Amino acid sequence: MHFFTKLALRHARALLWWSSALTLVLLVIGLVWGLFFSPADYQQGEMVRILYIHAPAAWMGLFAYTVMAVASAASLMGKYPLADIVAKASSPVGALFTIICLVTGALWGKPMWGAYWVWDARLTSMLILLFLYLGHIALVNAFDDYGRGARAGAILALIGFINIPIIKFSVDWWNTLHQPASITRVALPAMAMEMLLPLLVMGLAFKAYYVTLLLVRIQSEMAAVQVRASRLTQNNWTQNNRRENGR
Amino acid sequence: MDKFFSMGGYAPFIWSSYGIGIGGLVVLAVISVRTLRARERELQFIGTRQKKNVINNTESCQGEGTIHES
């Protein structure tokens, strides 16, 4: 992991450029395909187009939390100094994906179910995911000591990880208003190819966006760590100088 | 074109979903890049100030040396 970390840091700028370009290209292709060329659904009509924003946001909400939990576990093991930074960088992006998923889901629910919100297992567990993200963001920034904040955040992220399989399987375990998964690993997708392909392109676009923002925010957090260290050195240096001058 | 924008009567739901989705992605990207740039500028400023301090400190030490010699 150290090797990959060093490699990623050395080529961070180039990686950032490529991932930004990929995000833009995939997003434009996915949006044009989803809005102009994919067919309307035989039951839901044009309303089905919300799928191309809603489902990728939901996938990435779960993915970003998984990355955060893995980084938190690595951080608690104490071997990877960058793990804290990865977890801290991941949570605001994951929170955004979860908010997009919940809001677009509500806008999809009103005309299709007759309600913006129902307390079914999928929706409720997704709302808990948002609270976990917000709790993590608040907790890591709540301490003056960076290390203590990171440790508290890591413990929260690991405890909250139990929610991820609950979200994933909620539609199978409980009788929910939300439909079961259309794309699974064990069966062929229950969706027409004309809809599946733009959905996958949008999924890749959201993933490329996540990688891009993770790189930006990791660099930003590293700069913040350097700023804090420099300020501390500066303060110590000024205090020592004052003491020497006082003598 | 009107047919496309009306989205079969679901326009408010669909366009607000796309607006919130894409708008959210753009806003977080802009905030993240601006924060990175601000921190890099601050780091550069601290670096310059530290260099100045080192130069001033060296000059004052050299000055003290001259006084002792005379």
CA distances (Å), origin A219, targets A31, A161, B35, B39: 29, 26, 10, 10
Q: Using CA atoms, how far apart are residues A93 and A213, in angstroms rounded to an integer?
A: 7
Q: Using CA atoms, how far apart are residues A119 and A171, in angstroms rounded to an integer?
A: 13
User: Is residue B32 within 8 Å of residue A217, measured between CB atoms?
Assistant: yes
* Among A154, A102, A152, CA closest to A125: A102
Stated pTM of the model: 0.88
Is A67 in the B-facing interface, judged by CB distances under 8 Å?
no
User: Is residue A95 within 8 Å of residue A133, measured between CB atoms?
Assistant: yes
Confidence tier at A18 by pLDDT (50, 70, 90): very high
Per-residue pLDDT tens for B10-62? 999 999 999 999 999 999 999 999 999 999 999 888 888 777 777 777 777 66
Confidence tier at A62 by pLDDT (50, 70, 90): very high
| CATH 1.20.120 is the classification of domain A15-181+190-218 | yes
Residues from chain A contacting residue B13 (CB–CB below 8 Å):
47, 50, 107-108, 110-111
* Most A-contacting residue of B39, B53, B55, B57 (CB-CB within 10 A), to test interface: B39
ipTM field: 0.88
**Which B residues 9-38 touch A at CB under 8 Å?**
10, 13-14, 16-18, 20-22, 24-25, 28-29, 32-33, 35-36
Is B44 in the A-facing interface, judged by CB distances under 8 Å?
no
* Among A84, A100, A215, CA closest to A139: A84
Residues near A94 by beta carbon (within 8 Å), at least 6 away in sequence: A60, A61, A63, A64, A65, A67, A68, A133
Of the candidates A27, A220, A230, the beta carbon closest to that of B32 is on: A220
Per-residue pLDDT tens for A134-151? 999 999 999 988 889 999
